[in-house]
Amino acid sequence: MKTFFIALYSLLFSCFSIASINTSFEETVQKVLLGFHQQDNQIINSLIYKDVGIYIVYKRGIPYQYEQLFQFDFEQPVPEYLPYEALSKDVIKANSKITHYKAVATFDCGTERWSPFGLSVGKTGKDHLLSETAAFLKQHEMTDMSDKDIADLKKLESVSRRIVLASDNGEELVFHLGRFNQRWYLTVLDRVSSDCSA
């Protein structure tokens, strides 16, 4: 009987821990959306882990590029030719809850639309946009990153989830949250997934 209670306690504790992780995750997602709605640097900067920063992945010409920042500023977009669009109040209100877990939205260049619409989240550790971009740039001698630096990016991706906000009116925001010291942080802003230019 004692074993049963220990097993039951362990099960309840693990369920509580998972629920707690998901609650703080969803709260952090909503803070990111609010920060982009209000164009509030303070909100976004409070979500950046000081030892990691935030990586902005963008396209200049054909290859993807990225820039690591430790301070985010809506007035200084990366890249400079692509302003950070404010999310509308209607889109924020309509996406107050995550609608698709483990099935993150994809962009179709043929229709120029996301599917599915809503707020979707991929599985932890499944997106490798950042490390693949760095590896491509290294392979083509466009960066001086070491193998250790790329391995560090892979470690970052292993604790991160990709989030896509896609509305039927064309508003979108694609970002990653990583978990460090029991807290979720904004680690990547993806500005390439809906860029179909050659």
pLDDT 10s digits, 40-58: 999 999 999 999 999 999 9
Residue appearing with tokens 């400079």: 80
> Does 185 score more than 60 pLDDT?
yes
90 vs 140, which has greater pLDDT? 90
Mean pLDDT value across the chain: 87
Contact 188, 54 (CB under 8 A): yes
Contact 48, 186 (CB under 8 A): yes
pLDDT 10s digits, 106-122: 999 999 999 999 999 99
> Does 151 score more than 50 pLDDT?
yes
Please report, as a single letter, which amino acid is at residue 72: F
Looking at residue 2, its pLDDT comes to 45
Interatomic CA distance for residues 51 and 49, integer angstroms: 6
> Does 9 score more than 80 pLDDT?
no
Interatomic CA distance for residues 44 and 54, integer angstroms: 10
Residue appearing with tokens 């200049």: 60
Interatomic CA distance for residues 16 and 23, integer angstroms: 10
> Does 17 score more than 60 pLDDT?
no
